Amino acid sequence: MSTADELDGASVLVTGGAGFIGTHVVDALRSTADVTVLDDGSSGDLDAVPDGVACIEADVRDQAAVRAAVAEADVVVHLAAVVSVDESVADPPRSHAVTVDGTLHVLEAARDADARVVLASSAAVYGDPETVPIAEDHRQDPRSPYGLDKLAADRYARLYHDLYGVETVVLRPFNVYGPGQSAEYAGVISVFLEQARAGDPITVHGEGTQTRDFVHVEDVVDAVLLAATTDAVGEAFNVGTGASVTINELAALVRDVTGAESEIVHTDPRPGDIERSEAALTKATERLGFRPRVDLRTGLESLADRT
Summarize as ranges the residues that interact with ligand NAD (CB under 6 A).
16, 18-22, 39-44, 59-61, 79-81, 83, 98, 102, 120, 122, 173, 175-176
Nearer to ligand NAD, 36 or 43 (CB): 43
Q: Which is nearer to ligand NAD, 16 or 264 (CB)?
A: 16
186: left (phi over 0), alpha (psi -120 to 50) or beta: left
Q: Minimum distance from CB of 259 to ligand NAD (Å)?
A: 26
d(CA 122, CA 237): 10
From the list 146, 156, 160, 177, the catalytic residue is 146
Give φ, ψ of 177 to 5 degrees: -145, 165
Q: Which is nearer to ligand NAD, 35 or 81 (CB)?
A: 81
Q: Measured from the CB of residue 168, what is the shortest distance to ligand NAD in angstroms?
A: 15
Of 83 and 225, the one with the shorter C-beta distance to ligand NAD is 83
Hey, which bits of the chain come out as E strands? 11-15, 34-39, 54-57, 75-78, 116-120, 168-173, 175-177, 202-205, 211-212, 214-216, 235-239, 245-246, 264-267
- Nearest approach, Cβ of 144 to ligand NAD (angstroms)? 11
Alpha carbon 181 to chain centroid distance?
11
Between helices 102-113 and 145-164, what is the axis angle to 10°? 20
What is the three-state SS of 7-44? CCCCEEEEECCCCHHHHHHHHHHCCCCEEEEEECCCCC
Q: How far is the CB of 257 from ligand NAD (least distance, A)?
A: 20
> Is 146 part of the annotated catalytic residue set?
yes
Rounded Cα–Cα distance for residues 175 and 124 (Å): 10
Q: What's the gap between Cα 141 and its chain centre?
A: 19
Least gap, CB of 152 to ligand NAD (angstroms): 13
State the minimum distance, in angstroms, from the CB of residue 134 to ligand NAD.
Answer: 13
The total of other beta-carbon atoms located within 10 Å of residue 68's CB is 14
The answer to whether 225 and 162 have CB atoms below 8 angstroms apart is no
Q: Give the nearer residue to ligand NAD in terms of CB position, either 21 or 251.
A: 21
Measured from the CB atom, the residue of 8 and 273 that comes closer to ligand NAD is 273
Would you call 37 exposed, middle or buried from its count of C-beta atoms within 10 A (0-12, 13-18, 19+)? buried
Residues tagged active-site: 146
